[in-house]
Amino acid sequence: PQPVYLSDYQPPAYRVTHTELTFDLDPAATRVKARLLMERNDEVSDQTPLVLNGEHLALISLAIDGTPLTDADYQLNEKNLCIPKVPASFSLESEVEIAPSTNTALEGLYQSSGMYCTQCEAEGFRRITFYPDRPDVMATFTVTVIGDQESEPVLLANGNPVDSGKLENGRHFATWEDPHPKPCYLFALVAGNLHKVEDRFSTMSGRNVTLQIWVEKDNLDKTEHAMASLKRSMAWDEQTYGREYDLDLFMIVAVSDFNMGAMENKGLNIFNSAAVLTHPHTATDATFQNVEGIVAHEYFHNWSGNRVTCRDWFQLSLKEGFTVFRDQCFSADTNSAPVKRIQDVSFFRTAQFAEDAGPTAHPVRPDHFIEITNFYTLTIYEKGAEVVRMLCNLVGWDNFRRGADQYFERFDGQAVTIEDFVGCMADTSGEDLSQFMRWYAQAGTPEIDAHGEYDYVKSEYHLTLRQRTPATPGQTTKQPLHIPVRMGLVGTKSGQDLALTLEGETLGKDAVINLRDNEQTFVFTEVAEAPVPSLLRDFSAPVKLHFPYSREELAFLLTHDSDGFNRWDAGQRLAMLALDDLIAAHRNGVEKVMDARVIEAFRILLTGPVSDKAVLAEMLTLPSEAYIAEQQPIVDVDAIHAAREFVRQSLALALRDEFAATFEANRSDEPYAPTPEQIAQRSLKNIALSYLMSIEEEQAIAFCQAQFAADHNMTDVRHALTLLVHSDRDDLSSPALKAFGEKWAHDPLVMDQWFTIQVTRPQSDVLERVQFLMQHPAFSIKNPNKVRALIGAFAQNRVNFHRLDGQGYALLADVVIELNRLNPEIAARLITPLTRWQRFDETRQSLMRTQLERIKQEPLSSNVYEVVEKALA
């Protein structure tokens, strides 16, 4: 397969002004008739052939302006249809046949639990009909769906319903019109035996919008939270960005087989059932919050993505980075803002930093790709959002909002570029953002080495910042970035933020300094007492910050920093220093000794006044094994696991009473609600229970069993079950697992949790358990949720996946090879842990590479080929 290059972009030679589609549904032989009104662009010659995308289509007929074409009039291959001579303006009529029931790739039109649904982003529409399948071709659509009245009583497509009726042989039809020009990746069709819940939203201009969530009948009681989240999102986008919904109907459909979380199709969002269905007895707090965030994300795309879309797929972060930033702000406003930031950054620093340091590292705007679905990555989404966040902080909210207004108004109905977006921000703020644009072009995580010195005589604090970005594949030299560093100086005597004066300018007590050069020294004057610097507050830039903090300084920041994020970060850094020592001790076979300063810091946290329980729960959470691994030059999975367990148990032993008191104080019989207050209380209670269970005391076991048996809500049940199953006691684990498995055998989403809990336990029988569970009737390799819950989760189980006999790697490779045929997109994503082989010891490196080589021997999809090639390069 050949890469596509950003530099080769050419505007389309032909545009489509209107698209008419008729689907005659059949599992094995759906007929799709298309009538495209097309026009040649003025810039191209009249000799320019018409080239349309089309894959896995059986062509039945073709005509131009009603005149059938013969074989001599066109050329057809596996990917394209080429018609050498067409008029300047014409209608192209085609009919093709497709087979939704055998479409296991879940791109284009496919079947999920008997219903028909579509996924067209990024390039799935070409599996439905011959079309210029690129985002810069935007057309209005009229769609007629014909189905069986009994098996498909509900027939949905984008826009507004305009006609429906009965046909012969038990068939019926529905016609939908979408008046907003859209690229074909936003096309959607759903047909099946679905049931709806309905609500209304009145927009800021007073229009009434009907809101519908369509689900299978058994799931009707799981839609309330998504509906409430949708209404909150609609109100938030009006209040925060002045953006109103633009159709009379907004629909969400839940499907069980879906490659990602959800899809923002115009007026007809399609959701993975895992990303929309909730019930207190089946979904955890984390799922409730996730659903709220994803519903918001897809809704926000109506403006950032649909009304203004991307010129080409290299600009993907234009819509994704901006929309993630918007959904992050929405969730922060709706829940606890500091906790949202801590959770987002914690995930980002673990997973995106790893991506940026691996063989598939790419810029926020890549300059080439083989398979675009491989680029729906943490870099495009999450780093893209961090870049938009920096932009917002740099120009200030008012300018950012005016810039967003300008962007939505100037480019409404157009397909544009990242320059167009940043240009609006430069216009409204007057800032020069040219150096800032490097964030979009340069891959890799920048590192800042910081060094500070206090001059008692002059009352000055000299802060030197040095930046460097490590080489990434295909990008050896890097240029300095514009890095906004938000900071304060915390006085060691007063414990307060000191006033900041930089080069004679008074900045207040919390300020942003701009690092633009490779190295800069900032001299703060009138610094009355020796300070500890608090740097990169609120994670003001997606960088790694190195500052030689002592443990005493970190303990000081943990209790005194005015920035909640940095208080948490100081705790994480303090724990990391202790963990580093313990990892070294484990490796050298030396006795492990717990750092008393960490115990003291935790004691203060547990016994001091609690202003935000959710933040406290985060502060009591140790860095994950994956995050610790990111900090090590060579990952020693066993030492990391042993060190972290040692810290957990030492803390539990030293602070048993404090954890027990925290657990007791936060138990509650209140009816479940996914409110920030209740979620915070549950998370604090459950983290305390985790520590108590780490030493497997009889009292803790009794707490855990009681919480499991009480069956109050899934958050508590799942937490208790996980602790029981992850304990060393089979007498605790087996009965609980059995009871849970039997109770929820009918609910696929709960069974996914049951799979994950079992394959993430640290005990050494996990690999065999994965093999056994792959035969379980609730598992199917064709369902991406099942693959993620069982195989994906196993690959995150660090001690078991990285077994020294290499069987964990072999199992993953087996599944990748099978999925490469069935669902290449999921197969390519699943390989990720193997691509990180360079981070491990030589034995594991060689075992991982062996499996990559084995995969490479197969006839590969372009998706898997691209990832494996990069991993082995």
Residue numbers of the site for ligand HT7 (CB under 6 A)?
A: 119, 121-122, 259-260, 262-264, 297-298, 301, 320, 373, 376, 825
Query: Out of Zn ion, ligand HT7, none, which partner does residue 553 contact, by CB within 5 to 8 A per kind?
Result: none
User: Shortest gap between Cβ of 301 and ligand HT7 (angstroms)?
Assistant: 6
CA atoms of 32 and 98, how far apart (whole Å): 8
CA atoms of 829 and 473, how far apart (whole Å): 19
User: Shortest gap between Cβ of 286 and Zn ion (angstroms)?
Assistant: 20
Residue 790 is classified by DSSP as I
Tell me the number of residues near Zn ion by CB under 5 A.
Answer: 2
Query: Out of Zn ion, ligand HT7, none, which partner does residue 411 contact, by CB within 5 to 8 A per kind?
Result: none
Which CB, 382 or 420, lies closer to ligand HT7?
382
Window 778 to 807, contacts with Zn ion (CB under 5 A): none
Hey, what are 269's tokens?
């969002």
Site mask for Zn ion (CB under 5 A), range 307-346, x = bound:
-------------x--x-----------------------
Query: Out of Zn ion, ligand HT7, none, which partner does residue 123 contact, by CB within 5 to 8 A per kind?
Result: none
Which CB, 317 or 797, lies closer to Zn ion?
317
Which CB, 128 or 732, lies closer to ligand HT7?
128
What's the Cα-to-Cα distance from 666 to each of 282, 663, 722, rounded to whole Å?
22, 5, 19
The answer to whether 154 and 405 have CB atoms below 8 angstroms apart is: no
User: Shortest gap between Cβ of 824 and ligand HT7 (angstroms)?
Assistant: 11
User: Shortest gap between Cβ of 295 and Zn ion (angstroms)?
Assistant: 12
Which CB, 156 or 545, lies closer to ligand HT7?
156
Which CB, 229 or 566, lies closer to ligand HT7?
229
Q: What is the DSSP string of 665-732?
A: HT---SPP---HHHHHHHHHHHHHHHHHHHTT-HHHHHHHHHHHHH---HHHHHHHHHHHHTSS-HHH
Which CB, 376 or 556, lies closer to ligand HT7?
376
The answer to whether 344 and 444 have CB atoms below 8 angstroms apart is: no
Residue in this structure with the two tokens 């608090």, named with its chain if needed = 534
Residue in this structure with the two tokens 């006839």, named with its chain if needed = 859
Which CB, 128 or 489, lies closer to ligand HT7?
128
Q: Which amino acid is at 485?
A: V
CA atoms of 789 and 800, how far apart (whole Å): 16
Query: Out of ligand HT7, Zn ion, none, which partner does residue 260 contact, by CB within 5 to 8 A per kind?
Result: ligand HT7
User: Shortest gap between Cβ of 186 and Zn ion (angstroms)?
Assistant: 12
Q: 512 - beta bridge partners?
A: 486
Residue nearest to ligand HT7 (CB): 260
Handedness of CA 357, 359, 360, 362 (dihedral sign): positive
Hey, what are 393's tokens?
């902080």
CA 855 to chain centre: 26
- Please list the active-site residues: 298
State the DSSP H helix or E strand holding residue 251, giving kind and residue range, or none if neither: strand 249-255
Which CB, 36 or 318, lies closer to Zn ion?
318
Q: How many CA atoms lie within 13 A of 311 on its CB side?
A: 17
Site mask for Zn ion (CB under 5 A), range 378-397, x = bound:
--------------------
Which CB, 297 or 349, lies closer to ligand HT7?
297
User: Shortest gap between Cβ of 438 and ligand HT7 (angstroms)?
Assistant: 25
Region of 188 on the Ramachandran plot (φ > 0 left; ψ -120 to 50 alpha; else beta):
beta
User: Shortest gap between Cβ of 298 and ligand HT7 (angstroms)?
Assistant: 5
Q: How many residues does the chain have?
A: 873
User: Shortest gap between Cβ of 318 and Zn ion (angstroms)?
Assistant: 11
CA 234 to chain centre: 21
Q: How many CA atoms lie within 13 A of 453 on its CB side?
A: 6
User: Shortest gap between Cβ of 385 and ligand HT7 (angstroms)?
Assistant: 11
Which CB, 9 or 376, lies closer to ligand HT7?
376
User: Shortest gap between Cβ of 316 and ligand HT7 (angstroms)?
Assistant: 8
Q: 461 - beta bridge partners?
A: 454, 524
CA atoms of 779 and 786, how far apart (whole Å): 6
Which residues, 6 or more positions from 814, have their beta carbon under 8 angstroms from its beta carbon?
Answer: none
Query: Out of ligand HT7, Zn ion, none, which partner does residue 122 contact, by CB within 5 to 8 A per kind?
Result: ligand HT7
CB count in 10 Å sphere of residue 565 = 23
Which CB, 24 or 327, lies closer to Zn ion?
327
Hey, what are 556's tokens?
């000081």
Which residues, 6 or more positions from 445, have their beta carbon under 8 angstroms from its beta carbon?
Answer: 352, 353, 356, 357, 469, 470, 542, 543, 544
What's the Cα-to-Cα distance from 598 to each of 545, 561, 607, 632, rounded to whole Å?
21, 17, 14, 20
Hey, what are 595's tokens?
């750092």
CB count in 10 Å sphere of residue 204 = 14
Which CB, 298 or 497, lies closer to ligand HT7?
298
163 three-state secondary structure: strand
CA atoms of 84 and 508, how far apart (whole Å): 67
User: Shortest gap between Cβ of 436 and ligand HT7 (angstroms)?
Assistant: 24
Query: Out of Zn ion, ligand HT7, none, which partner does residue 716 contact, by CB within 5 to 8 A per kind?
Result: none
Phi, psi of 50 (to 5 degrees): -90, 120
For the chain, the straight-line distance linking the first and the last C-alpha, in angstroms and rounded, comes to 16
Considering only CA atoms, give the Rg of the chain: 28
Q: How many CA atoms lie within 13 A of 574 on its CB side?
A: 27
Hey, what are 508's tokens?
């207040």
CA atoms of 528 and 364, how far apart (whole Å): 42
Q: Which of 301, 305, 327, 469 is nearest to 385 (CA)?
A: 327
The answer to whether 89 and 38 have CB atoms below 8 angstroms apart is: yes
Query: Out of ligand HT7, Zn ion, none, which partner does residue 513 contact, by CB within 5 to 8 A per kind?
Result: none
User: Shortest gap between Cβ of 382 and ligand HT7 (angstroms)?
Assistant: 11
Which CB, 289 or 323, lies closer to Zn ion?
323
Q: What is the DSSP string of 86-132?
A: --SEEEEEEEEEE-GGG-TT--EEEEETTEEEEE-TTTTGGGTSSB-
User: Shortest gap between Cβ of 346 and Zn ion (angstroms)?
Assistant: 21
Hey, what are 294's tokens?
């994803």
- Which spans of this chain sit near Zn ion (rule: CB under 5 A)? 320, 323
